[in-house]
Structures are given as structure tokens and as C-alpha cells.
Amino acid sequence: MATEAVHAGREDLAGQGLHAPPIDLSTTYPSYDSRGEAARIDAFAAEGADPEGPPIYGRLGNPTVARFETALARLEGTEAAVAFATGMAALSAVLLVRAAAGLRHVVAVRPLYGCSDHLLTAGLLGTEVTWTDPAGITDALRPDTGLVMVESPANPTLAELDLRAIAHACGSVPLLADNTFATPVLQRPAEQGARLVLHSATKYLGGHGDVMAGVVACDEELARGLRQVRFATGGVLHPLAGYLLLRGLATLPVRVRAASATAAELAGRLAADPRVARVRYPRLGGAMVAFEVHGDPHEVISRVRLVTPAVSLGSVDTLIQHPASISHRIVDADDRRGAGVSDRLLRMSVGLEDVEDLWSDLDAALGRRR
Ligand SMILES: *Cc1c(COP(=O)(O)O)cnc(C)c1O
């Protein structure tokens, strides 16, 4: 994993006399062979295969973005990966591919990231959702079910699911696992039977809070459909973002392991603290900690100084937010509470700062000892 993270997607560079990957900002590509281009566009329209040969137009594919896709597929252990402008654009493309095949029904397990929940609940893309717990998945499947969607560890409660058992329960319906929180460093859902692995690459893959992106790792058959939707709907990733993501992947294993060690330590200290009612930290590990305080969670947010009070996660710096107010605000309050997202829950994304500095900031933010 550590070696792949550094080298995947860069294999051709030394042969070209390059060290850093070039950033190709072209929107279009000259060609004197329009017959050849016609044949390649026909092949893409029929099959969705990445056009062979030189690029044609930025919305059809970009070499810098392709490097990131190659590397991420390698890390997730899938045949392919298809990158999008954001995580939500990636999820939209998956839903559209399935709906276009006449499979408009989605079975999903709460909690999901707030906007994923909203997209499914509102049916904005013409899909219909059935919410269930893992044990109810098989019974919820219909002839027109095109997708089963889960997150593990889930945003924001860090609830964990048995992906292998869920993949089994899905039968022939593709399982989509949102792997944003675990990253391929801690969990590779494709090995457990998920056919689609989704990332908000905005989070750990980018890793520095300065790039928005999404990506779906999957087999080549599904990737072809996703590329065709991306071409037709336009949610492409910018090449500069592709460059930053490839650079982010190189340090992903080191970042995730270091932040996870700090997160585990902080989770332990929070669990032993009388001001804290409950701590959730995944068995799998990871750099996310969720906890409920006895006092007012808004006061904790207002008192942090080193920790950044902001939504999002997976950056080099530690972030804290109140899901009921921000990341999951768009979910109906009863649905949110039913999914275990209480009004007292705080979600912290642990970064790379010194653990003692983080603890003294949290200790002060938690307020007077009871
Ligand atoms: C942030 C997030 C998303 C959405 O990703 P964007 O890049 O913000 O569109 C999806 N799933 C999870 C688990 C997330 O945390």
C-alpha cells in the first residue's frame, strides 16, 4: 500500500524524463485525423471505454485526472476509477447510470452523509429510496432495485457495518460502499464484495482541505457507464484538482496512520472524562471521533482555539463540527435522530497536530469539570 500510494499513476514519468507529473490544462486537443477521432468517439459512445490515443476534449478525459484514477483504483483494488467534480457529483452519476437502465429503486442504510441522505430522500434524480437496517436489505429488494447504498464507518456516528454480510444480502444488486471515512488504508470494500466504492476525495484523499473532488472505484463495466454519464452531464474533475489528489495519495497511508494514533488516544481520554457522556470510535480505527457532551455542544464549538470549528474532515488540521447544525442539518430532524445523530453529538476529524496540544484545547473547550 505505501509503495503503491507513492508510485501508482506515475509509472511512465521516468521514461519521459519527468519527476513531478505534468498538469495538462488543455480543454481541447488538435488532431489532423478527424476520421480517426470520429471512430474513437463512436467507440466511446457505444462502450464508454477510455478513448485510446491522444485526448480529444476535456470533458471526455484528461491525462492528469487519469493518473489519479489509475492510482486510486490500485489502492482500492478495483479495475477502474472514475473521478468527478465532487463526492455528490460522483454519487449522482452512479444514481443516473442505474436509473438509465430502468433501475430507479435504491435501498439504503442510515446514517449516510447528510447530503447523500437528502439526495435519496428528495428523489431529486428521479430515484425512489427504501430505508432499512442491514437485516432488512434482502426483503427490501425489488425487481427495479438498482443499488444498495451504505457507509461504514458512517458519517457522523461512526457506526460500523459488516460489508461482507451486506454484499451477500444484496444478491446480484450492486452494493455501493462510501469509504470516505476509512480510506483504502484501513478498509478495501471491493475485497468484501462492494461493486462500487465511493469517496468524497475532498476529505482524506486530498488531505489538505484545498481541493473538492469525488471518485468511484469499480469494475470496468460499471466504469464505462459512469464515464458516459460524466461526459453527458459534465461533472468533470479539474486537472489541477487531479494533480493535487495524486500528490495527496502519496502521503495518504502516513497521514491516516498518524492521525488515527492521535484519534485513538483522544477517544480514550474523552471516554474517561466526566464531562463527556458517550464516545464513538470505530473498531476499525481511523482519525474520526464522535462524542456527546453533558453540556451544550454549541458552547464546545464556540470555545475551541487550536481546533478549527468547521464542517468537512480529513485535513492535516483538526476540525470539529455539530452534525445536527451543519453536515446533517438538511436531513429531517426525526429521521436524523432515528439514525442515531443526537442533538448533543459532536464530530471531530483529528489531524496531524501534537496530541497534547489538541488535548489541552479540547480540555479547555469542554469547560469546567463537573
Ligand atoms: C463529504 C462527504 C460526501 C460528499 O462529498 P463532497 O465532496 O462534499 O461532494 C459524501 N460522503 C461522505 C461520507 C462525506 O463525508
Is 59 catalytic? The answer is yes
**Right CATH for 2-26+62-250 from 3.40.640.10, 3.40.50.2300, 1.10.490.20, 1.10.10.10:** 3.40.640.10
Q: Is 315 touching ligand 1 by the criterion CB < 6 Å? A: no
Indicate the Cα dihedral angle 292, 351, 249, 79, nearest 10°: -10
Q: Is 178 a catalytic residue?
A: yes
The SS3 of residue 11 is: coil
Ranges of each domain in the chain = 2-26+62-250, 253-365
Sign of CA dihedral 117, 121, 127, 129: positive
Among the options 113, 204, 243, 281, which is catalytic?
Answer: 113
Average pLDDT over residues 128-132: 98
Question: Which is the catalytic residue, given 98, 110, 203, 280?
Answer: 203
Quote the ligand 1 centre to 218 CA distance (angstroms).
Answer: 18
Strand 175-178 to 196-200 pairing: parallel
Four-CA torsion 349, 352, 355, 359, nearest 10 degrees = -40
pLDDT digits (tens, 9 = 90+) for 255-313: 999 999 999 999 999 999 999 999 999 999 999 999 999 999 999 999 999 999 999 99
> pTM higher than 0.85 for the full model?
yes
The percent of residues above 90 in pLDDT, for the chain, comes to: 97
Q: Is the pLDDT of residue 199 over 70?
A: yes
pLDDT tens-place string over residues 29-50: 999 999 999 999 999 999 888 8
pLDDT average, residue stretch 312-338: 96
Give me the pLDDT at residue 262, please: 98
Q: Which CATH architecture has domain 253-365?
A: Alpha-Beta Complex (3.90)
Which of 86, 88, 150 is the pocket-test mutation for ligand 1 (most atoms within 8 Å of CB)? Answer: 88
User: Grid coordinates standing for 368?
Assistant: 469546567
- % of the chain exceeding 70 in pLDDT: 100
The pLDDT confidence band at residue 73, using thresholds 50, 70 and 90, is very high
pLDDT of residue 146: 98
